[in-house]
Amino acid sequence: MKLQIRKGFGFGLVSGVTTTLGLIVGLDASTGSTFVVIAGIIAIAISDSLSDALGVHIAEEATYRRTTTQIWEATIATFFFKFVFALTFILPFFFLNLQKAVIACIIWGLILVTSYSYHLARKRKTAPYKAIFEHVLIMAVVIAAAYFVGKATAMILGYY
């Protein structure tokens, strides 16, 4: 796999999982609405994927040794992979109730990030448990922060 495609895949996977899980947990905590969570996933899959693709595009342009083709490969790969990984989180909401779907999404996210972290660590010849711990810890912080912000928002706005 080309370097630019690998960059887009790795960034899209980790950012897509982390951002989407934060959104799911935060919206669940604040609204308790399956409709709102699904709408949020679709919105973030589109807007955040485009936004991150633009960010990668500009970052690649700032790397002066990149060709126009390499820049666009990284841009398109980032958008595609982030979009696809974000959308995979919709599936549990069609088959499970809200609480079970949120738990299934967290498990799915952990599987994706753990698997990729393991693969990356093996490729870099570093200890997989360190990479997995670090990445899962950051993901847990994002999820916890989104949960507490969602609860606080609902309480402040009198939603519950």
- Report pLDDT digits (tens) over 97-133: 999 999 999 999 999 999 999 999 999 999 999 999 9
Q: Which domain holds residue 135?
A: 3-156
Q: How many domains does the chain have?
A: 1
In contact, 25 and 143? CB cutoff 8 Å? yes
Helical (H) or strand (E) element with 11: helix 3-31
Alpha-carbon gap, residue 39 to 89, rounded angstroms:
12
How far separated are the first and last CA of the chain, in Å rounded? 49
Are the CB atoms for 37 and 28 separated by under 8 Å?
yes
- pLDDT averaged over 10-residue windows placed end to end, the chain, 160 residues: 86 95 97 97 97 94 88 94 97 97 98 95 92 95 97 88
Cα angle, residue 80 at apex, residues 74 and 86 outer, rounded to 5°: 125
- Token code pair at residue 35: 């409709």
- What is the C-alpha to C-alpha distance for residues 17 and 117, in angstroms, rounded to an integer? 13
pTM (two decimals): 0.91
